[in-house]
Structure 1
Amino acid sequence: MNKQQMLKGIQDQDERLLFAKVLDQVAFAMKRNELQFTDFMDAAKCGRCLERLKNNTDLDVLSFGGVEEAERLKLGFAPMQGMISYGQFPITALHIAPKSKKFGQTDLSHRDYLGSILGLGIERGKVGDILVSQDGAVCFVNEEMADYIQMNLDKVSKTTVTVIRLDKAEVLAPKRTEIRRQTVASMRLDAVLGEALRLSRGKAQALISSEKVNVNWSVVTNTSYILKTSDMVSARGFGRFRVGEVGGRTKKDRIALELEMYI
């Protein structure tokens, strides 16, 4: 494996540094004949790393973020095919929840949870997806950070919280989805997002403009971005869906559309 040759052509310096670290871990896995894992990275960067490694037939490479369809992923490397599985990834799922829900209390957001965790002095790469729900959030973290977070995270924003570990088998259970059939004015991101998540067009546009919407795990800020079949769309704090079959026009000149909603 020629490291310099593989780094050639990567213009973005941050991504070049990231891939250089990935190659170092690949070399270590091959030399020591043992598994190696990266920190968490966004799925778009992870995909580009996988693409660059695809011709290395001696290497077993797997990506995983702790749960199906994760948006932040780790890469795992093994020196032989078939040596690595999802269960071997050093990822711990923590459930973080308010101790009590007071009347009128503002719901905690993804930013609140992430800010409080990083406020403990933890690097961003040690934290994966944070799935916010009405009863708290499930946060995926590097295994070696779990005890530290449990012992030290007692507040998110100004809210007192409890932190417990979740059983891996429970977390790895497949996500439930439902098929919803809708009609949309167009395949523009703001139009589909609004219909899918039952948001006003203005609210959907605001989420997109504020960098809270991902398409195929990359942030998209263009409200007129055209979606296509199989695109995965997520809006932070609101949910996610996959674009299904795109049908024809209705009598009211709207597009018939299938959406796979994650519930």
Structure 2
Amino acid sequence: MEKRQASKFYPYFDVEEKSVIDKMTGFFNSVVFKQQPLLTEFLDPAQRDILRTIAGNDLFMQDFGGYQAAEKKRVYLTVDWTNFDLSDYGVTAFSINYPNKFEKLTHSAILGSLANSGIETETFGDIITDGNGQWQFFGKSELTDFFQKEITRIGRVKVKVEPIDFRNVIVPEDDSSETSIVVTSLRVDAILSGISNQSRSQIQNSISTNLVKLNWHGIKDSNIIVKVDDVLSLRHFGRCKVEDIRTTRKGKYKVVLRLWQTKKHKQRN
């Protein structure tokens, strides 16, 4: 098995992702050279997709992020298939305890506190809530003491972070909704225009300024045709997944979408 050249994969992804491609190629080459398993930090879906493309069929990838629907996950890269226990991934679930009858936490406030605590964002995974005041997050097990000692306040709210068993992980709130739009084209700009009530020229401007992602990757082309299971995101608006596409009698397209809107956009509506 030969080492990979990162530059070989540049044409397949957005130019903004070159540094990620370099890093993922480094992971692949390290496993090939050392012939030993490698455990990554928490990777988002785009990073895992790049790593999967680079690894191809030459390495095995197994991942875990703390719960079934985790978005950010740690990945094991191996030459041979290995049966890993969940504890092997070095992921710990943490509960954020605070007086939730009198105080309120938000995802952005928790993310800000973690990101500004002096650690890299790759060292922690998803932040989840049940919608009733309970908040949890996932982090590297080796940072358990750090999280407990350093994360004592989120905004003005005093908190206590404690590790918990995976059996006590909450079922995350599903704040998505199903909606449908009728469009004349399945192009990215047409779909986002239809769901966000912005003009296609506005969406095209958002694409050119790196505010739009398709399947977690930045795009520069508004002509891309969207298909079922594609995930589109528009910064400051939200994210949607294409669940179904049907042709109407008049030759248009009825697109069924699962929509996750940003909190700020929901409030404006």
* Partner residue, 2:111: 114
* Partner residue, 2:15: none
Residues 39 and 192 of structure 1, relative CA distance in 2, 3 Å threshold? farther
Query: Is the counterpart of residue 243 in structure 1 residue 242 in structure 2?
Result: yes
After superposition, give the CA deviation of every residue in 1:91-135 in whole Å (9 maximum; x if it has no partner): 1222335434548x6x5243x222211222111221222235642
* Partner residue, 2:30: 24
Give distance in 2, aligned partners of 1:179 and 1:108. 20
Shift of 1:222: 8.5
2:214 touches 2:231 (CA, 8 Å); kept in 1? yes
* Partner residue, 1:129: 126
1:68 touches 1:172 (CA, 8 Å); kept in 2? no
Residues 101 and 216 of structure 1, relative CA distance in 2, 3 Å threshold? farther
Contiguous gaps of at least 5 residues in structure 1? 195-199
Shift of 1:71: 3.2
* Partner residue, 2:154: 156
After superposition, give the CA deviation of every residue in 1:131-159 in whole Å (9 maximum; x if it has no partner): 35642543221121133212321111222
Give distance in 2, aligned partners of 1:140 and 1:9. 34
Written as runs of structure 1 = structure 2, the 5 A alignment for 1:1-263 is 1-3=1-3, 5-11=4-10, 12-25=18-31, 27-28=33-34, 30-31=35-36, 35-56=37-58, 59-84=59-84, 88-96=88-96, 98-100=98-100, 102=102, 108-110=106-108, 112-131=109-128, 134=131, 135-171=133-169, 180=178, 182-185=180-183, 188-191=190-193, 193-194=195-196, 214-219=213-218, 227-233=226-232, 241-249=240-248, 255-260=253-258
The amino acid that maps onto 2:39 is F
1:131 touches 1:137 (CA, 8 Å); kept in 2? yes
State the secondary structure of the residue aligned to 1:83.
coil
Identical aligned residues as a percent? 21
The amino acid that maps onto 2:145 is D
**TM-score, length of structure 1 as denominator length:** 0.68
1:128 touches 1:139 (CA, 8 Å); kept in 2? yes
Give distance in 2, aligned partners of 1:132 and 1:239. 18
**TM-score, length of structure 2 as denominator length:** 0.67
The number of residues matched between the two structures is: 243
CA RMSD of aligned residues (A): 4.2
Give distance in 1, aligned partners of 2:223 and 2:129. 27
State the secondary structure of the residue aligned to 1:38.
strand
Shift of 1:76: 0.4
Residues 19 and 131 of structure 1, relative CA distance in 2, 3 Å threshold? farther
